[in-house]
Amino acid sequence: MPSYLLTPERGHLYWAQVPYLPERPLDVRERISQGEVRATLTFKTRPVLIVQNRQDNVHPAYPFVLVAAVHSLKPGELDKLRRINHPTDFLLSPAECGLNRPSVVFLSQLLTLHKNLLQDHIGALPPARIAELNVRLAMALGLVEGHS
């Protein structure tokens, strides 16, 4: 389905073209301080989790969607994240959402994308996990207090 026909839902995962800065941020900051203000911004295909409300998602005049990037985990990283247990880290298992590897969504790192950048649908979280997403997202936005 073409991306302009999508009605993304909260808790669904999509492949998307996400802005990506291929340089280290400190390198860019150093060049800016020297008077050079160019930074190379490209797009990288990666999974994203829709976190925006349904009302904005279905509104035809609103072409943007609020997402959080999904990061696949390397061996050992899942155990480390579980030990840290940061309240705004949202862990995903492959079985529950259609991904190939265990992953994490850092809900403190949200992005606004044009809906045209959404590509293929990957999967959707079950209702219980969407409820957990809502709590962790509220913590990330400071709407409720979090516990570690």
pLDDT tens digits, residue range 112-129? 999 999 999 999 999 999
Domains and CATH numbers, the chain: 3-19+47-140 (2.30.30.110)
* Mean pLDDT across 37-42: 67
CA atoms within 13 A on the CB side of 51: 28
Q: Are 96 and 102 in contact (CB under 8 A)?
A: no
> What's the pLDDT score for residue 122?
94
> What's the pLDDT score for residue 96?
84
Q: Is the per-residue pLDDT at 59 higher than 70?
A: yes
> What's the pLDDT score for residue 2?
47
